[in-house]
Amino acid sequence: MVVKPHVKALFLGAISLFVFNKFLVRPWVLGAGLPAFFDVLVNSLPNLSEAIVGTLLLTGIGLRLRARSSGRLGDLPDSVVYRLAILVSGVYVLSQELKLHNLGGNNIYDPWDLLFSVIGLAAMGLVLGRYGFADLRRSSIRR
């Protein structure tokens, strides 16, 4: 499967944003006495990153499974694989924010975190729907 350049950029960008925010920006912002808007931003950005990375990983896994399957699963259109990836990622991310499980670590409920998660999921829906994920015509894996 030949992953499109924008997917690679989004994936690496989301991970870089997470690391940069966690180790450089967030400690500085929280110690600088800036307006509350900045506190919300640096504390909720990880949720945006998690939604982006999770959706892209699940999309890649879904497309790989589809490529190796026959029958009904092998016939799923890309758009269905994208929607399923967003749905599964959304269930995980949002249920974690709503404290239905604690698989991602010590979470404190915050409506801003929920909003940033939804923004990340919606953005991935728009990007995948408009630009796709992989160029299967150039791939060694055939549908």
pLDDT value at position 109?
Answer: 80
Considering the entire predicted model, what is its pTM? 0.89
pLDDT value at position 137?
Answer: 65
Helix residue ranges, H only, 1-143: 5-20, 26-32, 36-67, 71-74, 78-97, 111-131
d(CA 20, CA 124): 21
pLDDT value at position 142?
Answer: 47
Q: Which residues of the chain have pLDDT under 50?
A: 142-143
Q: Determine the residue type at 32.
A: A
pLDDT tens digits for 93-134?
Answer: 999 888 787 776 677 788 999 999 999 999 999 999 999 999
The answer to whether the beta carbons of residues 34 and 25 sit under 8 Å apart is no
Task: Please give the sequence-ordered ranges of beta strands (E in DSSP) within the chain, or none if there are none.
Answer: 2-3, 134-135
